[in-house]
Amino acid sequence: MQAAHNTSMSTPTATTSPPTVLLTGFDPFGGDSLNPSWLAVETLQGRRIAGHKVVAAQLPTVFGSSLVELARLLREHRPTLVICVGQAGGRAAISLERIAINVNDARIADNAAAQPVDTPVVAGGPAAYFTTLPIKAMLLALQGEGIPAEVSQTAGTFVCNHVFYGLMHHLSTRRGFKRTRGGFVHVPWLPEQGQPSMTTDELVRGLRLLIATALATPEDIAQGAGAIS
């Protein structure tokens, strides 16, 4: 019998930090006093999931500066996985966003009183980017645990889509991010904000499962989830 050749045994671990998952939420906007995306995300700060360390950070609900802050976080943490999370009032399930589009079109002002209409997120950038998260595997994982979930074909045209597009543009064009996967997830209101809603506990459970599933699924599965129209 041959002895197993295990190179990881001889790799020094004292100075190497675990790979990082960057998880972001937003501050409250549009007159709300809380944002479930941040309340759920912040509970996961510093948690270990599948050998990765979670870094939780809040982004401002502001066109432009949200992306400046996201770029800083990406430079600082060099994550292997990025999931940006935002509130989508009126939705009844955790929405796994498929596509980010190159347009800002705000119906309300952002938290810095800006309200861009029909401007590009990135001038000259491609019309859209697809998520690089395994959203079908994530959908099945959530549904398997009885957590309401759906694939969404639009993240809107406000700050969430802006951040989603900016994230995907950064990952696909900047050096050093070729192997970083990322995407966007919308969450419903909390019960105190209105209906339909999900509780913070359920959102946290869902986010943990999304991270674990993404880390365990290098290639997404083929599973139909599209609407018939």
Binding positions for ligand PCA, rule: CB under 6 A: 26, 29, 35, 37, 61, 86-88, 156, 158-160
Helix, strand, coil percentages in the chain from 3-state DSSP, rounded to 5 = 30, 25, 45
Residue 38, H or E segment: helix 36-42
Instruction: Decide if 52 is catalytic.
Output: no
By beta-carbon proximity to ligand PCA, the closer residue of 35 and 131 is 35
By beta-carbon proximity to ligand PCA, the closer residue of 86 and 182 is 86
The single residue of 97, 162, 169, 170 carrying the catalytic annotation is 97
Residues 48-76 as b or e (16 or more Cβ within 10 Å = b): ebeebbbbbbbbbbbbbbbbebbeebbee
The token pair that represents 120 in the structure block: 């590009």
The token pair that represents 202 in the structure block: 């359920």
Q: How far is the CB of 85 from ligand PCA (least distance, A)?
A: 8
Residue 83, H or E segment: strand 81-87
State the angle between helix axes of 135-144 and 200-216 in degrees (0 to 180), rounded to the nearest 10: 130
Report how far residue 229's alpha carbon sits from residue 226's, in angstroms, rounded to the nearest whole number.
Answer: 9
By beta-carbon proximity to ligand PCA, the closer residue of 19 and 148 is 148
Instruction: Decide if 160 is catalytic.
Output: yes
Q: How far is the CB of 29 from ligand PCA (least distance, A)?
A: 5
By beta-carbon proximity to ligand PCA, the closer residue of 29 and 177 is 29
The single residue of 52, 160, 170, 202 carrying the catalytic annotation is 160
Beta-strand relationship, 128-130 and 99-101: antiparallel
Residues marked active site are found at: 97, 160, 186
